[in-house]
Amino acid sequence: MRRLVLVIVFFSGSFLASAQTWELGGSLGAMGYMGDINPVKAYKLTDPAFGVQIKRNFDGYWSAKLNYMYGKVRASDAASSNTYQVERNLDFHSPVSEFSMQVEFNLFRYMAGADYGFATRKLSPYLFTGIASFSYNPLTKHNGDEIELRLVQTENVAYKKSAISVPYGAGVKYNISGKWTIIAEIGYRTAFTDYLDDISGRYVDFNVVSPASPLTMTLADRSTPPQIAGTQRGDFRPRDTYMFAGVGLTYTFIPIKCPTF
């Protein structure tokens, strides 16, 4: 994650030094998750989230954006309509903090505050993708206490609290007045980890693999009746996904007179 931050700082400095236009802004919305507890509902948003961004507009079509986003995700088997999940009885909640670098493409030529001798639209849909580094920490409640599941090692795996993800999505922007733009966006992040929810593989026989604490054994298998070691615990898909949907407001700075494109 530290390397990604250094790359972001380097590129932001070079962008701002020569930018024809650049934007500052923020967004508010909600965050959700897809994975072993929520395998199919790509639209399920559960918790508030916010983001801030700094963007360089190269022309009316292409931009590069540095983005920070913070929110929370959660899911519970108890809320599922699937009998297996209800019996499995697992749940989690986790903060998510993300730094990303994204490339944005406008479907129509667009630049807020533009007066450069070429036609621009006041409204344009856009697509984006990029690379991100994010931190997470799946938690659960047990006997009134909040438990950090990563330390419990419910699947006998010592996973990290950070990972890489690939953001991608779409949105629409509208020039409401001069250099002010309002945006609406939905984006998904494919995470290069399957432990955002602390669930991935099979039930472990802790009596054989490694002597475990009573807390580990309790949280590893909360199903009724208890599961047989070696049977499926997760859905075996290799990556979890988290998403963000929201609205934002940006202001465009024009430090120099841009040439006609």
Paired with 98 in beta bridges are 69, 134
Per-residue pLDDT, 28 = 98
- Single pTM value for the model: 0.86
Per-residue pLDDT, 114 = 62
Per-residue pLDDT, 14 = 46
Per-residue pLDDT, 31 = 98
Residues in CB range of 240: below 8 A, 6 or more apart: 33, 34, 35, 36, 191, 193, 194, 195, 196, 197
Per-residue pLDDT, 2 = 57
Per-residue pLDDT, 77 = 96
Give the H/E segment covering residue 2: helix 2-18
Q: How far is CA 194 from CA 90, 155, 161, 200, 217, in A?
A: 15, 12, 12, 6, 20
Rg from Cα positions in the chain: 22
Peptide bond into 225 cis (omega under 30): yes
Per-residue pLDDT, 258 = 46
pLDDT in tens, the chain (261 residues): 555 554 444 444 444 444 478 899 999 999 999 999 999 999 999 999 999 999 999 988 999 999 999 999 999 999 999 999 999 999 999 999 999 999 999 999 998 876 554 557 889 999 999 999 999 999 999 999 999 999 999 999 999 999 999 999 999 999 998 899 999 999 999 999 999 999 999 999 988 887 789 999 999 999 988 999 999 999 989 999 999 999 999 999 876 554 444
Question: What are the φ/ψ torsions at residue 73 (nearest 5 degrees)?
Answer: -130, 155
- Tens of pLDDT along 206-239? 888 877 899 999 999 999 889 999 999 999 899 9
Per-residue pLDDT, 119 = 59
Per-residue pLDDT, 208 = 86
Domain 2-253 has CATH 1.10.3720.10: no
- Tens of pLDDT along 92-112? 999 999 999 999 999 999 988
Per-residue pLDDT, 183 = 97
